[in-house]
Amino acid sequence: MESVKTLTVDLGERSYPIWIGQGLLSKLPAYLQTLGITSSQTLLVVTDDHVGALYLEPVLKGLQRAGFRVFSYSVPAGEQAKSLSYYEQIITYALEHKLDRQSVILALGGGVVGDLAGFVASTYMRGIPFVQLPTTLLAHDSSVGGKVAINHPLGKNMIGSFHQPLAVIYDTATLSTLPEREVACGFAEVLKHGFIWDEAFVDWLEENANPCRALQEPFLSEALYRACHIKSQVVSQDEKETGLRAILNFGHTFGHAFEALGHYRDFTHGEAVAIGMAVAAHVSEAVYGQQGLAERVTRLLSTYGLPVEWHTLPWSFEQVLEKMYTDKKVMAGRLRLVLLERMGRAVIADHVAETTLRAVWSLPFQNQL
Ligand SMILES: NC(=O)c1ccc[n+]([C@@H]2O[C@H](COP(=O)([O-])OP(=O)(O)OC[C@H]3O[C@@H](n4cnc5c(N)ncnc54)[C@H](O)[C@@H]3O)[C@@H](O)[C@H]2O)c1
Ligand SMILES: O=C(O)C(=O)C[C@@H](O)[C@H](O)[C@H](O)COP(=O)(O)O
Ligand SMILES: [Zn+2]
């Protein structure tokens, strides 16, 4: 018997469901109808060339059979697609194909497609609806919460907005084709949700840590459900990051600096954030004195196949620090770092001395583990 897990992102009139289950894409037309989307509305499926080759045709056929007028646009796979150039190309395509204010964008792919297509949706004719159809493990995070953006060469997600989807329809069957590297990347954000919010979830991820079982049920659905639940609770309390939501940025002040310094090529988001969380956990331990916390964070990241070393990175501390100051959390010229006061409890710290950061950065590698 197929089972669909449901969560709700509670945002008043902008509340929406997250449906998680095997084979949901084959029932996409019915899900869209449940959302009140009718065949009088034109659909545009945005995807990338890897995902498109695997899943686009059946999705388009299903929608056409159900009477929808549907177009599709595919961008090259990878972070480079989160650019002004691809943003403009999709807008042009939408205009040429006469999408109007009732049209709906369907983001079929990982976080790159979700962020890019969502940003198109948030700005096309001042905003049209969109639905997230995540196909990566990492996209349990990116598809929920309405942060949509593209990158600028000088900084990550620098051009964007908050635009909530109508729904997240998460077909976990698509995860079976994910490359191993991308499975590991997805666990970076799954682990993050545990580190910042729920020590019992971290315990569970430790007990069940087994890379060979990463995609097996019921482990996978349970991990996704718990991580999405944490994300939706945080977003429901602080949609536009006026306070609490910033904890979802654990590891990201460092991670985004690594991504930008690497021209969005050298590391995936998940890898950059994993190294960033390893650094941030060591800073946390230095600031809050929780013995063993950094060791626990780095061991778990490594177990799930993620990088945790920063001493091999090709940038100096000064280069990294300068890039960190472009972080969106910077306030009045002060860095604001997400740290772990203890496992399962994140805080925002604006008082960490640069000497502390430098000391952590300079730790010999054996002390980083
Ligand atoms: N908006 C948010 O709240 C938020 C949260 C986390 C991350 N993000 C963003 O998400 C992006 C990273 O997302 P990602 O890790 O999903 O990367 P991605 O979208 O680039 O996908 C990773 C790779 O996997 C391929 N792929 C996707 N689904 C597949 C499938 N089912 N089978 C085979 N291959 C598949 C893609 O083509 C790509 O090559 C970053 O840009 C990051 O900034 C946003
Ligand atoms: O949803 C959020 O809020 C997050 O911070 C989730 C992050 O995992 C994600 O990478 C997000 O895109 C980062 O946002 P940014 O505002 O730091 O660009
Ligand atoms: Zn992230």
198 labeled binding residue = no
Mutation probe of ligand 2 site: the residue of 113, 141, 239 with most atoms within 8 A of C-beta: 141
Burial 49-71 (b: 16+ CB within 10 A, else e): ebbbeebbeebbebbeeeebebb
Dump pLDDT digits (tens) for 187-241: 999 999 999 999 999 999 999 988 777 788 889 999 999 999 999 999 999 999 9
Q: How far apart are CA 283 and CA 226, in angstroms?
A: 27
Q: Is residue 194 in contact with ligand 1, taking CB distance under 6 Å?
A: no
Dump pLDDT digits (tens) for 118-141: 999 999 999 999 999 999 999 999
308 labeled binding residue = no
C-alpha 100 to ligand 1 mean position (Å): 28
Q: What is the CATH number of the domain that holds 157?
A: 3.40.50.1970
Range of the domain at 169: 5-174
Q: Which residues share a beta bridge with 46?
A: 73, 107
**Domain edge (last residue) among 174, 192, 211:** 174
245 assigned to active site: yes
Dump pLDDT digits (tens) for 73-114: 999 999 999 999 999 999 999 999 999 999 999 999 999 999
In this structure, the answer to whether residues 257 and 290 fall within a common structural domain is yes
Q: Is residue 106 in a domain?
A: yes
Cβ neighbours for 168, distance < 8 A, ≥ 6 positions apart: 16, 17, 18, 19, 131, 132, 134, 143, 144, 228
Q: What is the CATH number of the domain that holds 192?
A: 1.20.1090.10
Average pLDDT over residues 40-64: 98
For residues 172 and 21, the answer to whether their CB atoms sit within 8 Å is yes
In this structure, the answer to whether residues 24 and 157 fall within a common structural domain is yes
pLDDT band at 366; cut points 50, 70, 90: low
Q: How far apart are CA 120 and CA 270, in angstroms?
A: 23
147 assigned to active site: yes
Closest ligand 1 atom to Cα of 186: 15
Q: Is residue 37 in a domain?
A: yes
**Is 157's pLDDT higher than 90?**
yes
Q: How far apart are CA 120 and CA 196, in angstroms?
A: 30
Dump pLDDT digits (tens) for 4-51: 999 999 999 999 999 999 999 999 999 999 999 999 999 999 999 999
What pLDDT does residue 215 have? 81
C-alpha 269 to ligand 3 mean position (Å): 7
For residues 16 and 168, the answer to whether their CB atoms sit within 8 Å is yes
What pLDDT does residue 182 have? 97
Residues in the chain: 369
**Is 266's pLDDT higher than 90?**
no
The phi and psi torsions of 75 (rounded to 5 degrees) equal: -105, 160
Q: How far apart are CA 112 and CA 114, in angstroms?
A: 5
Q: Is residue 78 in contact with ligand 1, taking CB distance under 6 Å?
A: yes
What pLDDT does residue 330 have? 97
126 assigned to active site: yes
Q: Is residue 369 in a domain?
A: no
Q: Is residue 285 in a domain?
A: yes
User: Is omega for the bond preceding 29 within 30 degrees of 0, making it cis?
Assistant: no
Q: What sign has the CA pseudo-torsion 295, 301, 304, 306? A: negative
What pLDDT does residue 214 have? 75
Q: Is residue 336 in contact with ligand 2, taking CB distance under 6 Å?
A: no
pLDDT band at 60; cut points 50, 70, 90: very high
In this structure, the answer to whether residues 210 and 93 fall within a common structural domain is no
Dump pLDDT digits (tens) for 324-349: 999 999 999 999 999 999 999 999 99
Q: How far apart are CA 160 and CA 169, in angstroms?
A: 22
Q: Is residue 328 in a domain?
A: yes
**Domain edge (last residue) among 105, 140, 174:** 174
pLDDT band at 1; cut points 50, 70, 90: very low
In this structure, the answer to whether residues 204 and 168 fall within a common structural domain is no
Average pLDDT over residues 276-291: 97
How many Cα neighbours within 13 Å face the side chain of 100? 5
For the chain, what is the domain count? 2
In this structure, the answer to whether residues 73 and 134 fall within a common structural domain is yes
Q: Is residue 296 in a domain?
A: yes
Give the ipTM of the model, two decimals please. 0.99
What pLDDT does residue 359 have? 97
For residues 67 and 39, the answer to whether their CB atoms sit within 8 Å is yes
What pLDDT does residue 81 have? 98
In this structure, the answer to whether residues 307 and 236 fall within a common structural domain is yes
From atom 6 of ligand 2, which residue's Cα is the shortest distance away?
248
Q: Is residue 11 in a domain?
A: yes
Q: How far apart are CA 316 and CA 363, in angstroms?
A: 14
What pLDDT does residue 367 have? 58
